[in-house]
Each structure stands twice: as structure tokens, then as C-alpha cells.
Amino acid sequence: MSERPDRRPSPSAAKRASWRRPASPAAAPPPGPPTSPQPAPPSPAPPNHRSVIDSAVYRDGRRIASPTTLADTFRRLREEPDGMAWIGLHRPTEPELHSLAAEFNLHELAVEDALEAHQRPKLERYGDTLFVVLRAARYLDAQEEVEFSELHVFVGPDFLITVRHGGAPDLSTVRHRMEQTPELLSLGPEAALYAILDAVVDGYAPVVEGVQTDIDEIETEVFRGDPAVSRRIYELSREMVEFQRATRPLVGMLHGLMAGFAKYGTDEELQRYLRDVADHVTHTSERVDGFRQALTEILTVNATLVSQQQNAEMRALAEAGFEQNEEIKKVSSWAAILFAPTLVGTIYGMNFESMPELGWRFGYPLAIGLMGMVCISLYVIFKRRDWL
């Protein structure tokens, strides 16, 4: 990982000063006339800010100091030529990051990325320093959602700095586990980085299980005809896109680290550790790809089932409309048949004095015959047209 072929034994203080410290601040100033004080690095955040979650200096894998401020951490690390600093930050302020950049010679582009966040997972090398961006994930059971957070890691020859933007992962657990195995932590900042990578990848496992449960439930809801399932499929598909963006770049990043084993003299134990992490992230990435494909297929099936249901409903409506039309035809036919005698009877029911037919002897039989003939004719016509 570092440019030096062997992390242990640690470099001397003079060698470490050559890559990041122009002069030891502990040295006494040369005699001479008083000069104006040099501008000090940005002061750490006020105590109530609590962006420094944990800061420690280690020697041979064991904690020897727990400074409460960044300035104390810098001073104590200078006093330990073979020491290593592990600084954990949560949403640090700009002055804090700039003080770290000045102390450890961090590249300004990496510092800018750590300040702005919202970065894609990546691994970049700036001289002796690695800058790693990770996307941690956490499954929320109550909301049935996947929450993503961002983690930035600076790794140098004698320091490791973590900058968290979110709640996951729980790096205190990672630090505690590493402190319980000092023989592994004594391998240097690279060992701490691999432990962090392992924690991030292990955090994907509950997410994978939660998503698998959601997909099983969605399949049941699809065939049950739940109308709200389409929205659930869409929301879970969006989360799987984010999950892919978090896991897929990790595969290339870890393989890139493994390709540099020989070049940077990575310890054999760390090589095995990293290969195990790479296997896990490859498996997780394949599962996530499978989830996204399964959700796409489920969405297609759901659309087909919804279309079939709509067609069935339209067919039922058409059949109901056809039956209604048939009934209307019958009613209309009988109404027309009955309309003819009603019309004749209405005419002759008018009480006019000058109606010649009223005094005609054959008027009544003619009216009855006319009504019967019209009714029979209409009945025959409607019958031939299948209206009756």
C-alpha cells in the first residue's frame, strides 16, 4: 500500500519528517532576535462540535495515547518515531481537515472531496498517501429501506484518518476488534484499512438479506394482485441502483490493491485478509446484480398481470354493455309495438265534434284492424332482426 517496501520495522523519525514535516516543532528555536510568530495551523473544532470521535496513537499495535484534540495527536505522533495515528472524524469542519492536510501533507483534491462528500467509491494514490471513498449501507427494518452513508479514508505510512458522512459503519467496533489483535494492527495503517473495508463489506450482508425478503414478499403481492406493489417495486429498484453504485466499484478497487501486493511489499497476512474481503464483495455485487434483474423481471410480470386484469375488466364491461343493449332492444321493440295502438286510440279519444270517422259504421272495426296490423308488422320486423 505505501511506497516503502516494508511497513515493519517503522521508518525512523528523520525519514518520516522527510515526507511530511519540514522540521520538528519540538526543537528549540535558534538564538537570535525575536521574530514574529509563524501562523499556526487552523485550530481544532470547539469541544462541543465533537467531530473528533476517537483519536489514538499506537506503537507495535498497542494504544499508547488517546489525545483529545488534533494538536495533541500531532504532537504525540512526533514523539513516537515508530508510532501510528488513527484519527476518526464525523462530519469534520473545514479548519480541521485543513489542519490534517497541513500536518500529513494530504493532497488538496482529496481534502476537497472529503469536505464536499457525495463522491463515488474510488481509490486514488497521491504519493505515499492513499485516498479511499467507500459507500456503506444499512438496512432499516421498520421502513424497509436501504440507508447509504459515505466514508472517506486517508492512509499514509504512519497514519490513518477516517471521515464519516453518515451513521454507518460503526468504526468504534472495528477499532476495538483491531486493538484486541495487536499483532495484526502492528502491521500498520494498511491493516486498519483492510479492517474498515471488511466492516463495510460485512455491513452489506444484512442489506442483502433484507432485500431478498422484500423481493419474496413482492413476488407474493404481484400474484395476489396488490395494486400498491408497483410502487414498491419501483422504490426497491432505485435502491438497488444505489446499491450497485456502492458495490460494483469496490470489486475493481480491491483487485487493484491486490495487483500492488508485490510492488508495495504487502504483508502475507494482509494479502490473505484482502483476498477474503474481495471474495465477499464479489459475491455481494453478484447478488445485487441478480436482485436488479429479478426486480426488472418482476416488474414485467406485474405489468403483464395488470394488463390481463384490465383486459378482463374491459371484456366484462363489454359483455355487460352487450347484455344491456339486448335488453334495450327488447324494451324498445315492445314500446314501438305498443305505440301504434296507443297512437290510434289517442287520436280517436279526442273529443272533437267534427270527426267523420265517429259516425262511420265501419270506423271502429277499421281502427281495431289497423292497430292489429301495425302491431303484427312491427313484431315480425323486430323478430327477424333478433330484437325479440
Task: Average the pLDDT over 35-58 and give the result.
Answer: 59
Task: Average the pLDDT over 142-150 and give the result.
Answer: 84
Compute how many other C-beta atoms are within 10 angstroms of the C-beta atom of residue 101: 20
Nearest to 249 by CA among 123, 150, 121, 138: 121
- Residue-wise pLDDT tens digits, 188-203: 898 899 899 999 999 9
- Residue-wise pLDDT tens digits, 292-341: 999 988 888 888 888 877 788 888 888 888 888 888 888 888 888 888 78
Distance of CA 276 to the CA centre of its chain: 25
The C-alpha cell of 384 is what?
327477424
Compute how many other C-beta atoms are within 10 angstroms of the C-beta atom of residue 384: 9
Lowest-confidence segment of 14-18, 59-63, 340-344 by average pLDDT: 14-18
Compute how many other C-beta atoms are within 10 angstroms of the C-beta atom of residue 48: 5
**pTM of the entire predicted model:** 0.68
Q: Which residues of 198-229 are buried (b: 16+ CB within 10 A; e: fewer)?
A: bbbbebbeebbebbeebbeebeebbeeeeeeb
Rounded percentage of the chain residues whose pLDDT exceeds 70: 84
305 touches 223 (CB < 8 A): yes
- Residue 164 or residue 41, greater confidence: 164
Instruction: Grade residue 12 by pLDDT with cuts at 50, 70 and 90.
Output: very low
Alpha helices in the chain (DSSP H): 13-20, 70-79, 94-104, 108-116, 171-180, 182-185, 189-202, 204-224, 229-259, 261-264, 268-348, 363-384
User: What's the whole-number average pLDDT of the chain?
Assistant: 80
Q: Specify burial of residue 312 (Cβ count, 10 A radius: 0-12, 13-18, 19+).
A: exposed
Lowest-confidence segment of 160-174, 257-271, 374-388 by average pLDDT: 257-271
Give the position of cell 432499516. Answer: 140
